[in-house]
Amino acid sequence: MSRALARSHTGPKPDTSGSFLVFAATPSGGRRLGMHRARDRRQLGEDLRKGRLVAIKTWSLPSWAGTDNKVRLKDQAELHLQLSQLLVRGVPLVEALDVTSTAVAARTKPRVERMRDLVAAGSSFSDACEQVAIFDRVTISVYRAAERTGDLAGAAKQLSLTTRRQLAISGKVGTLMIYPAIVLSISVIVTTGMLTMIVPRIGKALEGAGVELPWFTRMMVVAGIFLKDNWLIATLTVLACVTAAVFAREGIARFVGRASRSIPILKDVVMAQEAARFFTVMAAMTRSGITLAEALGTAVAAIGHPALKKQLSSLRTKLVEGGVLRNLIDRVDALPVPTRRLLIAAERAGDLESAFETLAQDMADELDRRSSRLLAALEPLLIVMMFLMIGTLLLSIMIPLMKLSGQQLG
C-alpha cells in the first residue's frame, strides 16, 4: 500500500492537454481551420509540423468548448489488439507502438506517437499511458501489473477482449436510447408541422363557415399561429433550453440515473449493465496478476450503481480486514443469488479468474436479453405517446368538422 501511495505522489502526472482552434496553411498553399489537442502551444506547434501544417493563428478554447479528451473505445480496442499481436511475435515495444499509430484514428495518432517517444526515452509503458491520458486507470493498472510479471502481450490481448466486450455493452445501451429518440423526434416534427401549418388554416376555415370552435380547438389554433408568427423566438427558446441542458448535464445525468434505477423494467437493464462492467474489469485485472483486494478497489470505482457500489466497497474493506470471502460474497444481495453461488463455489475451488470471465460473458448475454425485453415494452409505450401528441391535434380538427357535418345534415 505504501509503495502505491509513493508512486501516486512521485510518479508522472497525467497529461493536462487543452483544446485549440487552429487556422493553418497547408503545403499546397491552402488554408485549413480545425480543432487540435495539445499540452501547450509548443507541443501544438510540433504536432502541426508533423502534419506538415503551419499555424497562422491559434486560439485556446475553454474546457467545455473543446473536443472530447477521451479516446474512443474502438481506438483503444484496436491499440490493444495491435500491441498483443506484435509483442507476442517479439517486436520491440517502440516499434510496436510505431506500427500501432498507423492503425488508429487520426485524432488518436498523436497520442500514440507521444507514447512511443516517451518509451523510447526510457519511460515505462504504463507511465507513458498515464502521461498521455490515453487509457483509464483500470487499463493503466493492468499494464503496470503486466510489466511486473513480464507479460505485456498477454495483458494487451486480455484488454482487447475486455474493450470489445465493453463496446458491445455500449452498443446495446446506445440502441435502447436511439430507438425512442428517433420515434419521439419524428413525433415532435410532425406535431410541430401540423400545429403551425394545418390546424390554424382549418380553424380559420371553420370559423368562416360559421362553426363555433370548442375551447380546445381554439387553444390549438392560437398556439399554432403564435409559433408561426414568432418562430424566431420559439427557436431561440429551444436553443436556450438545449444550452442550459448542456451546462446542467451532470445534474440531469444524476436525475436520469436515479430514475433508471427505480423504473421496474429499466432497473434490471441498469443492474445487468453495471454487473457486466464490474466482472469485465475483474476478469482483466485478476488475469494480470493483480491482487483481489486491489482489483476490487479499481473495479468498484468503475461502476455507478449506488447499492452495488456500497456493498462491494464494504466487501473489499472487510476482506482487507481479514474477512472470509465466501461469507462476504453472500452479503452482496444486489447481485443475483446464482451469481453469488457461482462466486462462492469458484472461491472454494480457487478459480476466481475463470469465474469472473464466465460471469462477464453471462452478464453481457443477460444485458442483451433484458435490452430486448425493454425494447419490446417500449414499443407500445411509444405508440401511446405518438397518439397523445399527434392524436390530440387530429381530435382538435375532427371535433369541429363533425359539428359542421351535423349542422349540414340537420
User: Which uninterrupted H or E stretch holds 78?
Assistant: helix 73-87
What whole-number distance in Å separates Cα of residue 197 and Cα of residue 195?
6
CB atoms within 10 A of CB 73: 15
Task: Enter the pTM of the model.
Answer: 0.65
Domain locations in the chain? 13-65, 73-167, 169-410
What whole-number distance in Å separates Cα of residue 103 and Cα of residue 125?
18
C-alpha cell at 127: 507511465
CB atoms within 10 A of CB 292: 17
The architecture of the domain spanning 73-167 is Up-down Bundle (1.20)
What whole-number distance in Å separates Cα of residue 177 and Cα of residue 378?
11
Q: What is the CATH T-level fold of the domain 169-410, as seen in this structure?
A: Receptor-associated Protein (1.20.81)
Q: Which residues contact 349 (CB under 8 A, 6 or more apart)?
A: none
Least Cα distance to 80 among 166, 16, 13, 12 occurs for: 166
The residue whose grid cell reads 437493464 is 269
Q: In this structure, what DSSP letter does residue 153 have?
A: H
User: Which uninterrupted H or E stretch holds 38?
Assistant: strand 31-38
CB atoms within 10 A of CB 386: 16
What whole-number distance in Å separates Cα of residue 386 and Cα of residue 178?
16
Q: In this structure, what DSSP letter does residue 15 have?
A: P
pLDDT on residue 13: 42
The residue whose grid cell reads 433508471 is 260
Least Cα distance to 89 among 143, 172, 157, 183 occurs for: 157
pLDDT on residue 114: 85
Rg of the chain over all Cα atoms, to the nearest angstrom:
29
Cα dihedral across residues 324, 329, 331, 332: positive or negative: positive
What whole-number distance in Å separates Cα of residue 39 and Cα of residue 13?
12
Q: Residue-wise pLDDT tens for the chain (410 aa)?
A: 333 333 333 343 444 456 778 888 888 877 877 777 676 777 777 777 777 788 888 887 665 454 445 678 888 888 888 888 898 888 898 898 888 888 888 778 888 888 888 889 888 888 888 888 788 877 887 888 788 878 888 888 878 887 887 777 677 667 767 778 888 888 888 888 888 888 888 888 877 777 777 888 888 888 888 888 888 888 899 899 888 888 887 788 788 778 777 877 788 888 888 888 888 888 877 777 778 888 888 788 878 888 888 889 888 898 888 888 888 888 888 888 888 898 888 888 888 888 888 888 888 888 878 877 877 777 788 888 888 888 888 888 887 777 777 666 55
pLDDT on residue 106: 78
pLDDT on residue 69: 55
Hey, which residues does 24 pair with through a beta bridge?
32, 55
